[in-house]
Amino acid sequence: MALSAPHAAGYVNGVSTEDLSPVRLRPAIAAMAAYKQGRVPSEHGFKLSSNENPYPPLPGVLEAVARADALNRYPDGAALAVRERLAERFAVGIEQVHLGSGSVALLSQFINAAAGPGDEVIYAWRSFEAYPGLVTVSGATSVRLPNRADGGHDLQAMTDAITENTRVLIVCTPNNPTGPIVTAAEFDAFMSRVPTDRLVLLDEAYFEFTTDPDRVDGAPLLGRYPNLVLLRTFSKAYGLAGLRIGYAVGPTAILNAARSAAIPMSVTDAAQAAALASLDRQDELLERVARIALRRDRLRDALIDQGWNVPEAQGNFVWLALGEETAAAADTFFDADLAVRAFPPEGIRISIGEDESVEKLLEVCGEIVQNLPPHHPVRRLG
């Protein structure tokens, strides 16, 4: 078979022809933009771009990781000890708990297990930036429903969009990056409209930071719905983002399908040891989480006082819907050595970082809001 002629020197679709390959790649994959990590400030600045926990691991966690020293051996692929502990906590059987190298790995497994070419995956937008890529990789099609004006999910629109081809619906609460929760009542009504043969992934990556008593909590709903899986992570509240460990809880048959779609043994012993040690130190952990939630509320109040419109913030981040001003504002933050996450032309997400970051952050935010056009929607009227 004849090989096609080499590409002429230059650029095709903005890609240097030197970076093109003669290998037949899946067009949908070749066209994907690479996942963008949060920007990194100088060593004197603050990294507020990746919704990380500003605190180092809890005392005892590093020691537990150091003890997991059999690096020449594969990890316990079944991750039994952590699953046992989580099964106890959620009052479910051990088969109803599944671990992944971060909840993003679990999202990938569940989407791949349930959806493929010709199928549809419904989620709100804007939401977690990994969703579109994960759906594309599965071969399925994303169906994105715009958020409500307050940044929350439009759950009615999401269920109205269900078709014969829908396989998965993802609900992110609190929503990254906008901040609002889905309430328990809203979620109940939503579940009553979703056929039980369609998978619902309740992404609760930031659950521990929520303080609104009306929030949905997936835990008591386990067992009530045969199509519900909840996803949580040790990356955020537990401060273990660097070790990559998250978990899913739900019906065994669905979890088994995800296990089949998983890369075997991808949760390391170090990650398992750190998760166990962190679960042992729940009180200290919750105290830290409460401090971050308090800092978040104070920051949001101060931003509102400065004249910003800030949606309800229930995760460890706040959202400024700067619209067309997003890129310029992101540069202003970066020039002040504050790395934030910009999603032009929609807005900027700012993670709650160290206490010392708040003053500087408010100084820069004050400057930005003063320079916005008077009727910009991110400015509060009056």
Ligand X SMILES: Cc1ncc(COP(=O)(O)O)c(C=O)c1O
Does 182 participate in binding ligand X (rule CB under 6 A)? Answer: no
Nearer to ligand X, 102 or 218 (CB): 102
**Which listed residue (90, 110, 123, 128) binds ligand X by CB under 6 A?**
128
| Minimum separation from the CB atom of position 325 to ligand X (A) | 24
Task: Classify strands 246-249 and 228-233 as parallel, antiparallel or unpaired.
Answer: antiparallel
CA 321 to chain centre: 18
| Minimum separation from the CB atom of position 140 to ligand X (A) | 18
Does 110 participate in binding ligand X (rule CB under 6 A)? Answer: no
**Which listed residue (96, 136, 138, 176) binds ligand X by CB under 6 A?**
176
Does 136 participate in binding ligand X (rule CB under 6 A)? Answer: no
Does 103 participate in binding ligand X (rule CB under 6 A)? Answer: yes
Q: Which of residues 50-79 bind ligand X (CB under 6 A)?
A: 51
| Minimum separation from the CB atom of position 235 to ligand X (A) | 3
Mark residue 265 as left, alpha or beta (left: phi above 0; alpha: psi -120 to 50; beta: remaining): left
| Minimum separation from the CB atom of position 366 to ligand X (A) | 28
| Minimum separation from the CB atom of position 178 to ligand X (A) | 11
Q: How far apart are CA 135 and CA 107, in angstroms?
A: 9
What does the per-residue mask of binding to ligand X show for 244-273, with x meaning CB under 6 A? --x---------------------------
Residue 154: which residues within 8 A CB-CB, separation 6 or more?
124, 145, 146, 147, 148
| Minimum separation from the CB atom of position 72 to ligand X (A) | 26
Name the one range near ligand X by CB under 6 A: 54-62, 97-105, 341-349, 355-363: 97-105
**Which listed residue (68, 87, 222, 241) binds ligand X by CB under 6 A?**
241
**Which listed residue (96, 136, 235, 326) binds ligand X by CB under 6 A?**
235
CA angle 61, 62, 67 (to 5 degrees): 95
**Which listed residue (79, 104, 169, 303) binds ligand X by CB under 6 A?**
104
Does 314 participate in binding ligand X (rule CB under 6 A)? Answer: no
Element (H, E) at 339: strand 338-343
CA nearest to 38, candidates 321, 342, 319: 342
Q: How far apart are CA 166 and CA 32, in angstroms?
A: 22
| Minimum separation from the CB atom of position 15 to ligand X (A) | 28
Binders of ligand X: how many residues, by CB under 6 A? 13
Residue 229: which residues within 8 A CB-CB, separation 6 or more?
110, 199, 200, 201, 202, 248, 249, 250, 251, 254, 255
Burial (0-12, 13-18, 19+ Cβ within 10 Å), 255: buried
**Which listed residue (54, 102, 218, 239) binds ligand X by CB under 6 A?**
102
**Which listed residue (119, 186, 203, 208) binds ligand X by CB under 6 A?**
203
Q: What's 209's DSSP letter? A: G
Q: How far is CA 52 from CA 10, 34, 344, 359, in A?
A: 40, 20, 21, 19
Nearer to ligand X, 186 or 203 (CB): 203
Nearer to ligand X, 115 or 368 (CB): 115
DSSP 105-130: HHHHHHHHHH--TT-EEEEEES--TH
Does 317 participate in binding ligand X (rule CB under 6 A)? Answer: no
CB 142 within 8 A of CB 129: no
| Minimum separation from the CB atom of position 177 to ligand X (A) | 8
- How is residue 115 written in tokens? 């959806």
Does 46 participate in binding ligand X (rule CB under 6 A)? Answer: no
CA nearest to 198, candidates 162, 247, 157, 222: 162
Q: How far apart are CA 244 and CA 176, in angstroms?
A: 18
| Minimum separation from the CB atom of position 298 to ligand X (A) | 22
Closest-CB residue for ligand X?
Answer: 102
Contact residues toward ligand X (CB under 6 A) are 51, 102-104, 128, 172, 176, 203, 205, 233, 235, 241, 246
